[in-house]
Structure 1
Amino acid sequence: MKRLTTLALLGALMSCRAAEYPAATAKTNAGKLTDNAGAASATEALPNLPQVKTPSFRADTASVVKFGAVADGVAKNTQAFQQAIDAVSKAGGGVVLVPRGHWLTGPIEMRSNVNLHLAKGALVQFSADRADYHLIKTSWEGVAAVRNRAQIYGQNLENIAITGQGVFDGAGNTWRPVKKGKLTDSQWKRLVESGGVLNEKKDTWYPSASALKGSTIKEAFYLKPGKEVKDYEDIKDFLRPDMMVLDRCKRLMLEGVTFQNSPAWTLHPLMSEDITVRNVTVLNPEYGQNTDAIDLESCRNGIVEDCTFDVGDDAICIKSGRDEQGRERNMPTENFIIRNTKVYHAHGGFVIGSEMSGGARNIYASNLTFMGTDVGLRFKTTRGRGGVVENIFINNVDMRDIVGQAIIFDMYYMAKDPVPLAGESAAPPVIKAELLNEGTPQFRKISIKDVTCNGAETGILVRGLPEMPIRDISIENATLQSTKGLVCIEAENIRLKNVALLTTQTLPVMEIQNSKDIVLDGIRYKPGAELLMRVTGDRAKGVKLANTDTKAAKKDVEFGDKVSKKVLSISKL
């Protein structure tokens, strides 16, 4: 094989050959994890995380051109791409080069010891012909499923990478349904005239009758007992492929590449370990349903840094399986650093859940910027999930123009968009206590520091279950400009310190309902507020307000029916 000597590829190879990832393990003399600038992370007692092992590759390089690929955007290069990947792997590994140009291909499968490198100016266009894709047994949204195989797929691989400065385009418009309410009138008109079919209500477009049929079947993608892959052929178009799935892989790296226009989830490492995602861009249309940027599902040991995400669903997602299947898998997502990343449109900027039945722990997120997301920091689950989310440390998050909540912990996730479309109900659910069982989820031991938000519907929403409150949440040094301030329902041991709730709504700045051991220390708010705090619910207990000027509000506290004033203690300034 000949050797590639371009500076771009040499740089990629050098970064992939790093024996260790210093930023993931570097410490100050005080033993604190540090970033490249040497600043301590969000926690004062950061445990030692495992070193993230990175891949390394032989310098041997093979261009897809050698295997017959043609960069005219017309010839389908699926066979040439696959032959190049297979040959390099069989020869002991190395680099598969995609030079500058427009390369049309069907789905491809990665192999161990291969670095698929896109040169600057390379556009890899995945086929819009749905016949090029085939159904497989896989996992999606945390359960056994039948889906079209991902456009980039790998299973049980080691030492793999996708690097460079090129672009993958997933032709997602040939797969995705579109809701009328997410388009302008002219956009909707053009879409309908392009083909496809409408649902009965004429408010959702589908690319084919097969896709529409799948939408009418409850849990259509589930692999049901007694069913085989062939039984799903009549709804094949509904079972959209992810753009990339790397299943049970070790030592994988994504660096520098742009992934755009995905049919469904974009980057999906599944049950994998030692993951490095650096300088990656993900671009999907705002109306694109299920187009998450990155879903780290039941993965361990990794870092995501210096990325840019602009998508139609959640951006940075931590998942670990769903309901009984997720609990049986029992593989938490753990030991991750996520930092120095920008998110534009997304349902949530940084998200844990809702498929978190295997748990999540030891996640450190810092230096994140969210601009125009529906929600900023989003923790979501629901009854039946089970699982424990704990030891989550977040600091240095800046947000603006957040449509819904800047920070939300919600154990009553209803599997719908966080911001209702026109005509959809925004009413909160009625929450009644149920018995504790293995399906009861838990959020606990979460620290958030140094946050700003310029514009949101709610600054902080905490909504636990009567049988399982959200516990041990600390939010410190935050300035949140929003319509509503704090809404805290069914929570325990919640601590806000040095938090500014700069609200525009008249009543109240803080709402505490059926919660106990709540400490509000150093709360700032706009002078002249009609009501500072309302405490309701017969289970409210141990609410403390300290170092806060209660006289700046027209009324300091209001109590609900059957709530004793002894529930609240106020420490004067």
Structure 2
Amino acid sequence: MSCKCDSYGVLRPHSVTITEFGAVGDGVTLNTKAFQNAMFYLNSFADKGGAKLFVPAGRWLTGSFDLISHLTLWLDKDAVILGSTYSEDWPVVDPLPSYGRGRELPGGRHRSLIFGRNLTDVVITGENGTIDGQGFEWWERFRNKTLDYTRPHLVELMNSTGVVISNLTFLNSPFWTIHPVYCSQVTVRNVTIRAPLNSPNTDGIDPDSCDDVCIEDCFITTGDDVIAIKSGWDEYGISYGRPSTNIIIRRLIGETRSSGIAIGSEMSGGVSEVHAEDLLFFNSAAGIRIKTSPGRGGYVKNIYMANVTLVNVGTAIRFTGNYGEHPDEHYDPNATPLIEKITFKDIKGENITTAGLMQGIEGDSFRDICLYNITLQVTTNSPWNCSYIEGYSEMVTPETCESLRGEIFPDHCSDCYGLPSDLRISRKRNKGAWLLSW
């Protein structure tokens, strides 16, 4: 799979600077009205080729503001957009229909710092400028249990098509950092995302009920999953029924106290056709993780991850079939998920505590799990722990659990998503060492 062309280089016939609307880049003056007024003005150019809003060097404090269609938001290399530390500057909006409530608390949720819905052709980019959510106050309120509503994301776009986010640094999100939801044709490229490793739920990039997504050439270090692919929560996600599909992830470096790439736990609308390759995760709790639970419904299938390097990672591959966390008591405990056709190929790891902790669901085994050419330097005497898992493996060190020891070749290659049948010809060749190039 390959990423489609994006609109990074699009030329907008109209351009304005945020200072033209009274903004002051002193890090103290609140510029919410300036950003809102700029968007109102630029919207008149939407049918004339669109417009560009330039944010020059400075520290531009603001509350939440909405983007418009056919817009480029461009940050100078020394520009910093700062999120206000006052919750009243982040309005409360309705919960997502595929979640039924706020992710943390019943009811609504604070709107993201940069927000948009029902948009087309939106570019957020620049010369490695910075968007800083200043999430410290939000993290403390979470720890002290003084939140009234679910914390806001740093960037959230809803029901939008043709989204490009590139060449920027994102810091200290109050909650998930970049959250496209119900979107199509999304590209996130060449971004850096940072938050302290002890910051709660500061996921890096979370495509949620999205299709045709490309994430590449990113460095992410956060307090939660580096990438988390989602598609709705229990009965609300099942009812909304919008899957995440056709997702490409490549050339990614990440560090986290959680997982490098996670699918779920909210996956009730389904997740499929995920291709990830050329990944490096270090100092992390898990490398690759799938999270689900009875009550989720939905499916995770046709997943292919290859060329993965893990360094100082707790569990290389982890499946959790009883993750729990339900929005309310109305979920159907008999709505079990379908987990099948998941392939992990060409994985190397050093200083790994556990090779695999793979726990399916009793009566609903995860099947067609395929492991090929995996070498892990494991520090525990029990490298694999599997339950309710069915699949195949070849060239795996240390030897995997009994339920995964069926041979891939010659009879089960078609059960392994993404593995070409002619791979058996070269599987015994010396592959040599491989290095990621950045």
Equivalent residue number for residue 249 of structure 1:
160
Equivalent residue number for residue 329 of structure 2:
none
Q: Tell me by how many angstroms 1:86 deviates.
A: 2.3
1:169 and 2:126 correspond = no
SS of equivalent to 1:308: strand
How does 1:152-551 map onto structure 2 within 5 Å? 152-164=114-126, 165-177=128-140, 205-206=143-144, 211-212=145-146, 214=147, 235-236=148-149, 239-403=150-314, 405-414=315-324, 439-482=335-378, 483=380, 484-492=382-390, 494-501=391-398, 511-512=401-402, 515=403, 518-519=405-406
SS of equivalent to 1:328: helix
1:124 and 2:11 correspond = no
1:24 and 2:11 correspond = no
Residues 258 and 471 from structure 1, CA distance in 2 versus in 1: closer, same or farther, beyond 3 angstroms?
same
Provide the TM-score with structure 2 as the length reference: 0.85
Residues 310 and 110 from structure 1, CA distance in 2 versus in 1: closer, same or farther, beyond 3 angstroms?
same
AA aligned to 2:383 is G
Equivalent residue number for residue 78 of structure 1:
32
The 2-side partners of 1:437 and 1:394 are apart by: 30
The 2-side partners of 1:390 and 1:87 are apart by: 45
AA aligned to 1:455 is N
Q: Tell me by how many angstroms 1:521 deviates.
A: 7.9
Equivalent residue number for residue 41 of structure 2:
87
Percentage identity across paired residues of the two chains: 35
The 2-side partners of 1:115 and 1:521 are apart by: 48
SS of equivalent to 2:235: helix
SS of equivalent to 1:254: strand
The 2-side partners of 1:466 and 1:293 are apart by: 32
Are 1:52 and 1:302, in contact at CA under 8 Å, matched by a contact in 2?
A: no
AA aligned to 2:114 is I
SS of equivalent to 1:269: strand
AA aligned to 1:109 is D
Residues 115 and 399 from structure 1, CA distance in 2 versus in 1: closer, same or farther, beyond 3 angstroms?
same
Q: Tell me by how many angstroms 1:144 deviates.
A: 3.5
Q: Tell me by how many angstroms 1:246 deviates.
A: 0.3
1:84-132, CA deviations, whole angstroms, 9 ceiling, x for partnerless residues? 2222222232110001111111111111111111010111111112222
Are 1:462 and 1:470, in contact at CA under 8 Å, matched by a contact in 2?
A: no
The 2-side partners of 1:53 and 1:128 are apart by: 34
Equivalent residue number for residue 418 of structure 2:
none
1:111 and 2:111 correspond = no
1:537-571, CA deviations, whole angstroms, 9 ceiling, x for partnerless residues? xxxxxxxxxxxxxxxxxxxxxxxxxxxxxxxxxxx
Are 1:54 and 1:275, in contact at CA under 8 Å, matched by a contact in 2?
A: no
Are 1:24 and 1:52, in contact at CA under 8 Å, matched by a contact in 2?
A: no
AA aligned to 2:88 is A
Are 2:113 and 2:133, in contact at CA under 8 Å, matched by a contact in 1?
A: yes
SS of equivalent to 2:220: strand
The 1-side partners of 2:408 and 2:65 are apart by: 55
Q: Tell me by how many angstroms 1:466 deviates.
A: 1.8
AA aligned to 1:70 is V
The 2-side partners of 1:520 and 1:489 are apart by: 19
Q: Tell me by how many angstroms 1:52 deviates.
A: 6.2
SS of equivalent to 1:519: coil
Number of aligned residues: 393
Equivalent residue number for residue 416 of structure 2:
none
SS of equivalent to 1:468: coil
AA aligned to 1:499 is V
Residues 270 and 313 from structure 1, CA distance in 2 versus in 1: closer, same or farther, beyond 3 angstroms?
same
Q: Tell me by how many angstroms 1:141 deviates.
A: 8.4
The 2-side partners of 1:456 and 1:384 are apart by: 32
1:12-39, CA deviations, whole angstroms, 9 ceiling, x for partnerless residues? xxxxxxxxxxx826xxxxxxxxxxxxxx
Are 2:254 and 2:281, in contact at CA under 8 Å, matched by a contact in 1?
A: yes
Are 1:52 and 1:275, in contact at CA under 8 Å, matched by a contact in 2?
A: no
SS of equivalent to 2:180: strand
AA aligned to 1:460 is G
SS of equivalent to 2:12: coil
**Which consecutive residues of structure 2, in runs of 5 or more, have no partner in the other structure?**
103-107, 327-331, 410-438
AA aligned to 1:175 is W
Q: Tell me by how many angstroms 1:438 deviates.
A: 5.7
**Which consecutive residues of structure 1, in runs of 5 or more, have no partner in the other structure?**
1-22, 26-50, 178-195, 197-203, 215-234, 417-435, 502-508, 523-573
1:209-240, CA deviations, whole angstroms, 9 ceiling, x for partnerless residues? xx43x5xxxxxxxxxxxxxxxxxxxx24xx31
Residues 97 and 497 from structure 1, CA distance in 2 versus in 1: closer, same or farther, beyond 3 angstroms?
same
The 2-side partners of 1:101 and 1:252 are apart by: 26
The 2-side partners of 1:133 and 1:451 are apart by: 42
Q: Tell me by how many angstroms 1:76 deviates.
A: 1.2
1:40-93, CA deviations, whole angstroms, 9 ceiling, x for partnerless residues? xxxxxxxxxxx5664745242110011111111111111112212222222232
Equivalent residue number for residue 222 of structure 1:
none
The 2-side partners of 1:321 and 1:465 are apart by: 20
The 2-side partners of 1:399 and 1:89 are apart by: 46
Residues 278 and 136 from structure 1, CA distance in 2 versus in 1: closer, same or farther, beyond 3 angstroms?
same
Are 2:307 and 2:346, in contact at CA under 8 Å, matched by a contact in 1?
A: yes
